Each structure stands twice: as C-alpha cells, then as structure tokens.
C-alpha cells in the first residue's frame, strides 16, 4: 500500500453534487474514479476553458492511499475549489 498522499485534480459540475467529468467517456459520472483525474490544476483548468463551460469547476483531490489491489482512499475538500 502506498501511504504517501499526493494531489490530483478533477472537474466537477457546479449543479450536480458528486458528479465528476470522466475524460475517457467525456461525460459527467456519479462518483470519482481514476478516469476523472488530472495531475495538475493548470491542466484541469485549461480543459475547462477549452472544452467545457462555466458550469464546471476544478477541484483538488488528495489521494491518501492506494493498495496493491487498486483500492484507493481519497479526500475531496470542496472548500479548496480551485478558482481563477
């Protein structure tokens, strides 16, 4: 198990709680998964600016642990919405 936490970013809907943008299907999806994450805030914001609209926001996701089986624990703090 990886115990060192790290930060990723996701794009969320401002109108639908717990719906995140899936980059594989290019649709909003209930709950977050690995296809909803980007490595940098700048990359996420650029995607919103170029492909989505102001109904989407960038949110910081703290990945707390990942097990060998692929199970992961994360924390989304909506107080840390990335604003431009």
**Strand-pair partners of 21:** 28
Q: What is the pLDDT of residues 7-32, one digit of tens each?
A: 999 999 999 888 999 999 999 999 88
CA dihedral 44, 25, 21, 50 (to 10 degrees): 40
Q: Could you state, in order of their start, the residue ranges of all structural domains in the chain?
A: 6-78
DSSP E strands, 1-84: 6-13, 19-22, 27-30, 56-66, 72-82
Q: What's the confidence (pLDDT) of residue 70?
A: 80
């Amino acid at each position: 198990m990886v115990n060192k936490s790290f930060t990723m970013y996701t794009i969320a809907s401002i109108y639908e709680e717990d719906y995140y943008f899936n980059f594989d299907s290019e649709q909003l999806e209930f709950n977050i998964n690995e296809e909803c994450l980007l490595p940098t805030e700048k990359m996420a914001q650029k995607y919103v600016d170029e492909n989505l609209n102001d109904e989407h926001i960038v949110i910081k996701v703290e990945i707390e642990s990942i097990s060998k089986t692929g199970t992961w624990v994360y924390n989304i703090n909506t107080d840390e919405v990335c604003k431009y």
